[in-house]
Amino acid sequence: MNTLNGKVIAITGGAGGIGEATARMAHAQGASVVITDLEAAAVEAVAKSLGDRAVGLAVDVSRSADNERMVAAALEHFGRLDAVFLNAGIEGEVGPFDSRSDAAWEKVFAVNVHGVRFGVAAALPALRKAGGGSIVITSSIAGVRGASGLSPYVSSKHAVVGMMRCLAAELGAEGIRVNTLNPGPVDNRMMRSIEEQANPGHGEEVQKMFSARVPLGRYVTNEECAAMAVFLFSDAASGINGNTYMVDGGYCAQ
Ligand SMILES: NC(=O)c1ccc[n+]([C@@H]2O[C@H](COP(=O)([O-])OP(=O)(O)OC[C@H]3O[C@@H](n4cnc5c(N)ncnc54)[C@H](O)[C@@H]3O)[C@@H](O)[C@H]2O)c1
φ, ψ (nearest 5 deg) of residue 182: -120, 85
Q: For ligand 1, which residues put their CB under 6 angstroms from it? A: 12-13, 15-19, 37-38, 59-62, 87-90, 111, 138, 140, 183, 185-186, 188-191
pLDDT on residue 209: 94
Instruction: Name which of 154, 150, 151, 152 is nearest 141 in CA terms.
Output: 154
In this predicted structure, the answer to whether residue 178 has a pLDDT above a threshold of 90 is: yes
CA of 157, closest atom in ligand 1:
43
Positions annotated as catalytic residues are: 153
Compute the distance between CA of residue 248 and CA of residue 208 in angstroms, rounded to an integer: 16
Name the residue of 11, 18, 111, 139 whose CB sits within 8 Å of the most ligand 1 atoms, as the mutation to test its pocket. Answer: 18
Query: In this predicted structure, which of 52-61, 71-80, 99-108, 153-162 has the lowest mean pLDDT?
Result: 99-108
Distance between Cα 91 and ligand 1 center (Å): 8
Q: What is the pTM of this model?
A: 0.98
In this predicted structure, the answer to whether residue 52 has a pLDDT above a threshold of 90 is: yes
Residue nearest atom 7 of ligand 1, based on CA coordinates: 140
Distance between Cα 138 and ligand 1 center (Å): 9
The structural domains of the chain, with segments of one domain joined by +, span: 8-184+221-246, 189-219
Per-residue pLDDT of 71-98, as tens digits, reads: 999 999 999 999 999 999 999 988 999 9
Distance between Cα 190 and ligand 1 center (Å): 7
CATH superfamily of 8-184+221-246: NAD(P)-binding Rossmann-like Domain (3.40.50.720)
pLDDT on residue 121: 98
Distance between Cα 182 and ligand 1 center (Å): 12
Strand arrangement of the beta sheet that strand 54-58 belongs to: 54-58, 32-37, 8-11, 83-86, 133-138, 176-183, 244-247
